Structures are given as C-alpha cells and as structure tokens.
Amino acid sequence: MPNGRNRLARRVKLTDKHIVTRMMDIAAGLPDVIKLGRGDPDLDTPEHIVRAGQEALASGATHYTHPMGLSELRQAIADNIATHGGARYEPEDIVVTPGGQQAMFIIALGLLDPGDEVLIPCPGYNPYLQAAELTEATLVSIRTTMATNFTLTAELVREHVTPRSKVLILINPGNPTGTVIPPDEIARICEVAREHDLIVVSDEIYARLTYDDHHAQPVSVLPGMQERTITLSGMSKAYAMTGWRVGYFAGPSDLMPALAEIHHAFAISTAAVSQHAALAALTGPQGCVEEIRCTFDERRRVLCDGLTEMGIPFAKPQGAFYVYAKVAETGVKATEFCERLLREGQVMIFPGRIYGDYTDDYARLSMTQPVPRIQEALARMAAVVAAIHQEHSVA
Ligand SMILES: Cc1ncc(COP(=O)(O)O)c(C=O)c1O
C-alpha cells in the first residue's frame, strides 16, 4: 500500500483471496483430489452440440455477432422459454451473454443505484451478492433455514420489504441448497412483488434439473409478472456446456435496450462459435437433457445415502446438483471441516459461508463426479469424520 493509500475502490469488499481460490491453491499441491466443489460437472457436452460448434468454426463463425446474440438463437431461446412454461418473449427482449454469470452484473449495473435494496435469499448464489455490492446497493439477506428445507416463502419476503426495496432475486432451484420452491409459494411471492412494485430477477438455470415430483415454476408467465421479471438462464447446466460460456436474460421491453448496451460495452458479443453450439443444443434432440438429469439423480441418491450413513443431516435436494449438508454436526465448524477434508482426505467441498451462510454449519457438495468417485469421496469423508470424533472423545 504505497503512501498508506488504499488503492482499491471503497466499494470493493473482498480485498484478500476468496475462500475458493485458497482451496484451489491447497488442492493444486495435493495428489488425486476428488473435486465436489465447483458447479462444473464432469459430463461432456453432447456430441451433436460439439459437432455444431466445429462446423460453425469451419464455416467462418469467427467474428463478432449481433451484440444481443444471433437472431436464430434468440428465437430458439424464446421458443424454449415458452415450451417450458415461461412467458412468450420476443427475440428483441433477449440478450445472449458469456454465461448467466455476466448477466447478473449487467442487470445489477443497469437496475441498482446506491441505497436501493436488493432482497437476496440466504444462503444464496454468491455472485448476486458481489454484483449488488459493486453497485453499492444495500443487500437485504432473507435467511432461510433447514427447518423448511431452506425454502423462500412469501411471508419471509414480506417481512424484509421496505419502501427502498427494488429487486428480488429468486434462484429456483436453489444453489447451494438444491431447494425447489413449490409453485403455489412462487405465486404468493409474486403477489408480494406486485404489491411492492419489485423487479424479480428469476434465475432459472437449473429449472430442467428437478427430481421426484418437484417442478420449478417459471415466474414470467404468472399474472402481471412479465413486465417486472428478468428471466436469467443459460446452457451450462442442462446441456453440460459450462466451458462454452453461453447464458442469457430476457426481460421487459422498456429495460432491455439499456441492459443490452451495458452487455455490448462489456463483451461486444458472446463468442460466435458458442452461440452456434447453443443453437444446436436448443433446436436439436432433447434426450440429452433427460440423460443428464437422470445421471444427477442417481448421484444424488448415492450422496444422500452416504451422508445419512455418516449421521450428517442435509437439506433434501429437490433440484440442481448440490447437497447442502450440516457438516458441523461432526463437531467442527464447516470452514474447518472443508479444509480438513481437503488436506486429510483430498476431497474438495465448499463451506456455506461462501453463500452468505452466517452459521458456518453447512457445506455444499456438488454431484460433479461419477458414482464410483462419489463413493470414494464418501469413504474418505467418513475417515475424516471418524478422526474428528476420535479427537473429540480423547479431548
Ligand atoms: C444459480 C446460478 N445461476 C447462474 C450461474 C451461472 O452459470 P453460467 O455463467 O455458467 O451460465 C450459476 C453457476 O453456477 C448458478 O449456480
């Protein structure tokens, strides 16, 4: 810090390495780490999608595209949203972004002034917090608990609304909890949004990945909601396309030109090759999505059974591909547990603190490895848990 001056802007809250970066650094020096940390599945992008990308490159898709994205892709996204129960959007009201992640920052920069309040479920996907922080908006965390499987309710939203509330973030299915908010609860939350004139950012990126009889209700189609909803999603999860970096957001016509210009300034356009692959994903055979969903469903059962055997309680994962487990039940706080599990068991999972969890009791396990590797991870975890119990009984 030359001259004792803080050279970072005041709005930058995280001034040291993020916990994830620290864990990645530790893992880099260890052999055979089983990575159940990041939300990046081991599954490869289905072949026909990869082929479409290769063909696009061979036929010259090496340039910028329309800033908002290829018009055929925006049409396919509009059709896809409607097919899966969302509102009917016009392609002019859709922006294709380099991942849903970037869309969060575009939306935050476009909608939030300092002092505006953003309602965010807690625990919740952390980049939403970072995006709101960068705009100097005020974060209002809505705490959910294990007692209700971390389900956000209309009542909770209502308790946190003030005249300064502007945006409500809904992540359904949830990350890190895997919770699916029941459709009738979503309808009640939307009533609160209408009453208090909130804009809802509805993150539906895991909507195609739900289990048992759970169903993630799209928000945009509910009465009076399309005009106040920005639907955010992407190709990463349902089509195993994390590395292609294609996401999108769709919203009301009065907001989209300004938001599209922010995106333009950030990225010019999303990579052409990736957009062609995304088009093939959305317009090609859809069996691959069901295959991916079934793969996660099987892994989900294995993980849940293993945790139950270890006596570690967890939220019932109803969607997405995470299990949110109360690892503090072992006797040590979650951050310490995760670090020990990494160093002693070479298994990487993430502490809930990353997702705003104030208890430091929980950790997120991603279903991002095949069943035999998950079984191996569970065995290693059981050994670390046994070591912790042993220390505690001696102490
Ligand atoms: C809830 C949620 N939304 C959005 C994203 C962003 O994904 P991508 O940028 O790969 O589209 C993620 C990634 O993990 C996520 O968990």
Three-state DSSP class for 48? helix
pLDDT in tens, the chain (395 residues): 566 677 888 887 766 678 888 899 999 999 999 999 989 999 999 999 999 999 999 999 999 999 999 999 999 999 999 999 999 999 999 999 999 999 999 999 999 999 999 999 999 999 999 999 899 999 999 999 999 999 999 999 999 999 999 999 999 999 999 999 999 999 999 999 999 999 999 999 999 999 999 999 999 999 999 999 999 999 999 999 999 999 999 999 999 999 999 999 999 999 999 999 999 999 999 999 999 999 999 999 999 999 999 999 999 999 999 999 999 999 999 999 999 999 999 999 999 999 999 899 999 999 999 999 999 999 999 999 999 999 988 76
Q: Tell me, in angstroms, the distance from the centre of ligand 1 to residue 100's CA.
A: 5
Cα–chain-centroid distance for residue 184?
22
125 Cβ closer than 6 Å to some ligand 1 atom: yes
pLDDT at 202: 98
pLDDT at 395: 67
How far, CA to CA in Å, does 10 sit from each of 7, 102, 330? 9, 22, 39
pLDDT at 2: 62
In 3D space, the residue among 354, 391, 393 whose CA is nearest the CA of residue 22 turns out to be 354
In degrees rounded to 5, what are phi and psi of residue 269? -160, 170
In 3D space, the residue among 108, 120, 193, 128 whose CA is nearest the CA of residue 154 turns out to be 193
CATH topology of domain 47-283: Aspartate Aminotransferase; domain 2 (3.40.640)
pLDDT at 12: 79
Residue 301 identity (one-letter amino acid): R
Cα–chain-centroid distance for residue 370?
21
171 Cβ closer than 6 Å to some ligand 1 atom: yes
Q: Tell me the HSE value of 251 on the side-chain side, using a 13 A CA sphere.
A: 28
The DSSP secondary structure of 230-290, one letter per residue, reads EEEEESTTTTT-GGG--EEEE--TTTHHHHHHHHHHHHSS--HHHHHHHHHHHHS--HHHH
pLDDT at 3: 67
Q: Which atom of ligand 1 is nearest to the CA of 174?
A: 1
Report how far residue 213's alpha carbon sits from residue 137's, in angstroms, rounded to the nearest whole number. Answer: 37
Report how far residue 287's alpha carbon sits from residue 289's, in angstroms, rounded to the nearest whole number. Answer: 5
176 Cβ closer than 6 Å to some ligand 1 atom: no
pTM comes to 0.96
Task: Report whether the peptide linkage leading into residue 313 is cis, meaning its omega lies within 30 degrees of zero.
Answer: no
205 Cβ closer than 6 Å to some ligand 1 atom: yes
pLDDT at 11: 81
DSSP code of 7? -
CATH topology of domain 16-39+288-394: Aspartate Aminotransferase, domain 1 (3.90.1150)
Write down the domain spans for the chain.
Answer: 16-39+288-394, 47-283
Report how far residue 321's alpha carbon sits from residue 319's, in angstroms, rounded to the nearest whole number. Answer: 6
pLDDT at 196: 98
The DSSP secondary structure of 112-171, one letter per residue, reads --TT-EEEEEES--HHHHHHHHHTTPEEEEEE--GGGTT---HHHHHHH--TTEEEEEEE
Confirm if 345 and 316 have CB atoms less than 8 A apart: no
pLDDT at 8: 86
pLDDT at 13: 72
How far, CA to CA in Å, does 344 sit from each of 322, 341, 386? 22, 5, 12
- Percent helix / strand / coil, the chain, rounded to 5: 45, 15, 40
39 Cβ closer than 6 Å to some ligand 1 atom: yes
99 Cβ closer than 6 Å to some ligand 1 atom: yes
**Cα three-residue angle 165-166-171, rounded to 5 degrees:** 100
For 357-375, give one letter per residue: b (16+ CB within 10 A) or e.
beebbbbbbbbbbbeebbe
In 3D space, the residue among 325, 356, 390, 285 whose CA is nearest the CA of residue 177 turns out to be 325
- Out of 45, 236, 274, mutate this one to test ligand 1's pocket (max ligand atoms within 8 Å of CB): namely 236
- Written as six digits, the tokens of 256 are 């989209």
Indicate if the alpha-carbon torsion angle 297, 249, 363, 345 is positive or negative.
Answer: positive
pLDDT at 49: 98
Q: Tell me, in angstroms, the distance from the centre of ligand 1 to residue 171's CA.
A: 10
Confirm if 206 and 170 have CB atoms less than 8 A apart: no
In degrees rounded to 5, what are phi and psi of residue 366? -95, 145
Report how far residue 157's alpha carbon sits from residue 43's, in angstroms, rounded to the nearest whole number. Answer: 36
Report how far residue 360's alpha carbon sits from residue 381's, in angstroms, rounded to the nearest whole number. Answer: 18
- Written as six digits, the tokens of 359 are 């208890």
Fold agreement (16-39+288-394, 47-283): no
